Chains A and B, each alone.
Chain A
Amino acid sequence: MSESDTRTAEEPDTAVPSRRPGRERGRDDGKFGRYGGQYVPEALMPAIEELTDAYERYVLNNEDGFMDEFRERLADFGGRPIPLQRADRLSERYDREIYLKREDLLHGGAHKLNNALGQVLLAKYMGKERIIAETGAGQHGTATAMAAAHLDMPCEIYMGERDINRQRPNVFRMKLNGSEVNPVTAGRGTLKEAISETMRDWATTVETTHYVIGSVVGPHPFPVMVRDFQAVISEEAREQSIEKTGGLPTDVVACAGGGSNTMGSFAAFVDDEDVALHAVEAGGSTLEVDEEAGVAPNSASLYTGAEGVLHGARTKLLQDSDGQIMESHSISSGLDYAGVGPELAYLVDEGRVNPVAVDDDAALEGFHRLSRTEGIIPALETAHAFGFLEEHHEELGERVVVNVSGRGDKDLDAAIEETDKRDIDEAPDMSMFTGGI
């Protein structure tokens, strides 16, 4: 990608994507130990096989210059490379070097575009004529709509009816970019129903349509493919860390819902055994589970979940003792998912990734702290990583990279509402915002 100086022995030996073993994992058979696989209806198998073939040709082997075009568009349309910034005041506060990978500066305001642009471009190389995607809070939907407009592909987004009502600005953004938004009324009308509905559309339209899945979840090849598109985060961060500090970080911290920014932040570091990797999940209001109501008031599937099969993959899930999938909850809708990428489930079992849960309160405090001390308003998802930093910095090494997966503009209404319920030191005086605007 770019030339880099070669003063340290840590330097990766080439400028092309690393081919080391950790990065190879799952590419051949979609298995991460006991996790992964292709648990999909038979009618989807041809689409999955076609996609697997396209992934191998275009993404892994750069056929027709696919990866070159992807990188060029990520640079020109997306604004990459994205800086690794030293956070001066947090460094002082925690008495160690804190660096921020500023994915909030990527076009669209979150890491989501890395994946959406990669998949929409891949669909074009595959000769597909139409894009479909699911979205929960609307972040993946807006990224896909942007990428589809940019690449002139018709696009339809499935979104739960309840989420549509809660996320009107994002619905408008998708429509501004020319996408259709299809309300999902089935079931309970949230993200997991939207995923199921998008799979159903795909089952009838596989010949013309590509399904742009929003995270490192679903059947093979989605988990490896989305990871490979998001890996640009850690490829850059690894190089930038070496350039700026002369070495690798001691710790990498990223929030985890489905896990796309998490795997993107970890991928290039997985083989660097001295770099600790922390996946911060949404602890919600409590880690307790209401089995009767089928509700887990959190989204901590790595931390508390059990092995099972959901949306095409074997992974760790929030489920009741019968195996029914639970409704998850988090202050941040982007982390609000009952499953997690199978590779993360594997890396946690292997002891390579440290799963931690940060509750709603600590996340909201992290949101205010980063806003006030560093001038960066993070997404509520991202804020969980800063909640972790506050609670656990003493256990971390001397140089910590935190992925700022997205900016918080989308969350301002929720932040006003949630802040007003609590007494947070670093929050502004809320009286003028909650009195009737």
Chain B
Amino acid sequence: MAPSPVRDQTSRNSTAGGGLTPGMIRLLLMALPVGVFLMALILPGYMFETDQKPTEIGLGPAAWPRAMLLALAIFSALWIAQDIWVLGRAGRTPLLRIPKEDGHYHFGKALVGLVMIVLYGWLLSVLGFAISTAVFIATWCVFGGLRKISVVLPVSVIGTIALLWLFMGLALMPLPRGVGIFGEFSIWLLRAVGIY
């Protein structure tokens, strides 16, 4: 029996799913509305702090979020129902479809990129804006395929100083300076480039 065109599409898109099998992708896509549905049911219980009693004047502060969560539960239930109906009737893919990529999608590279971005955000308050930004730009450039030190180094250092001058010097934005020795280095650098 020839496979259905929809199934074929799922197989073709498996690279976009990071090496997951079509069955796993289907399961993942079907788990999403279930997760949203459960979240919509559970969240009203966590709306206020335990020691906080919502006011009872008028509709109260809980009315709008409750109504929206109820609507969310209804629509996600509809989504689940549609997914089950589609799968049961014709053996097709769920409503959500993984978009086709024009070229090859390097899933592992994307995950490393995400980790680098999250690390950069976390290190901002520890190392300060100057050090973390220079390190991040240099690392990202190398990871992105730029190997020439004569390009990477000036881009990261001059770029960071230009950003410091623009945002801390001109726009007077108090960007993080870091803690301990990193904070002291940031202050020294800011003095050196004439911002402080």
- Verify that A and B bind, or say they do not: no
A residues bordering B, Cβ < 8 Å? none
B residues bordering A, Cβ < 8 Å? none
